[in-house]
Each structure stands twice: as C-alpha cells, then as structure tokens.
Amino acid sequence: MKFQLITLFEYNLWANQKFGETLKGGAFKNPKILTFISHILNAQLIWIDRINGKASETKVWTEYPIESAVDKLLESSQAWLEMLENESDFDRMISYQNALGDSHSSVIYDIISHVANHGTHHRGQYLCFDLWENLFCSSRSC
C-alpha cells in the first residue's frame, strides 16, 4: 500500500508542478484560478497538520499571490511525500476539528486518498475554465 500511495503523491507533485508552471506563465484570465490553487494548497497544509497532530492555523479559502501559492504548493507536495515515506500505519485513526470546530476522526489512508483526489478535482476545474476562456471567450466577450 505504501508504494501505491507514494506513487499517487509523486503524481500529485508532478501535476502541481505542471499546474504551477502554467499559472506562473500568466496564461489565465479567470480570477477563480487563483482561488483553486490556493485552496489545493490550503487543503494539503490543513490535512498534513492534522495527520501530524497539530492544530492548523491555515484557513480553507485564504488566497496567496500566484508565485507564493505555487512555491508553497510544491513545498507542501514534497512534505506529503516525506510524510508518506515515514508513516508506518496507514490504518491509524486521527482525531481533529474541522474549520467549524466540529470534532471528527478519520483513518490516515482515507485522508491521503481525499487529498490526492481533491487536488485532481480542482486542477480539472482549472482546465475547464481554461478551455472556456480559450475556446469560447477568444471569439466572444465573456
């Protein structure tokens, strides 16, 4: 299982690198794109803090300047790989409080799956916005 999870987060790092390269190139018009990359970053930071038993100071919808968001996202993606290398019990239950202060418990494996899928989902939203802007908005006023 560990090998598969590491492979999943190697993909996550690669995808975030490609995403970051595109965004740093300034090839987007829709301001929601900044929201997505910041939100992916925030989720990675919040969940790794929870796994490490820390209360996160990170807010779910905080936005960062693009350069900072990309750099922090790549650092966070690397931190996830390091955590996976060091984790020995993926069935370990952790307890945490969500952004509303509600108490929850989750198995680390489920959190890892959620974080990977969460990033993929929001990168996919970016692609939809990008396609819309380039296919439709270039010939119309959007």
Tell me the pLDDT tens digit for each residue of 23-49: 888 766 777 888 888 999 999 999 999
Distances (CA, A) of 72 to 6, 46, 63, 76, 90: 20, 13, 12, 6, 25
Alpha-carbon distance 3 to 124, whole Å? 25
Q: Please say if the pLDDT value at position 11 is more than 60.
A: yes
Provide the residue ranges of all domains of the chain, joining segments of one domain with +. 2-137
pTM: 0.87
Alpha-carbon distance 43 to 123, whole Å? 13
Alpha-carbon distance 28 to 10, whole Å? 25
Lowest mean pLDDT among 63-67, 104-108, 112-116: 63-67
The one-character DSSP state at 136 is I
Q: Please say if the pLDDT value at position 141 is more than 60.
A: no
Q: Please say if the pLDDT value at position 100 is more than 60.
A: yes
The CATH superfamily label for domain 2-137 reads dinb family like domain (1.20.120.450)
Q: Please say if the pLDDT value at position 103 is more than 90.
A: yes
pLDDT score at 50:
96
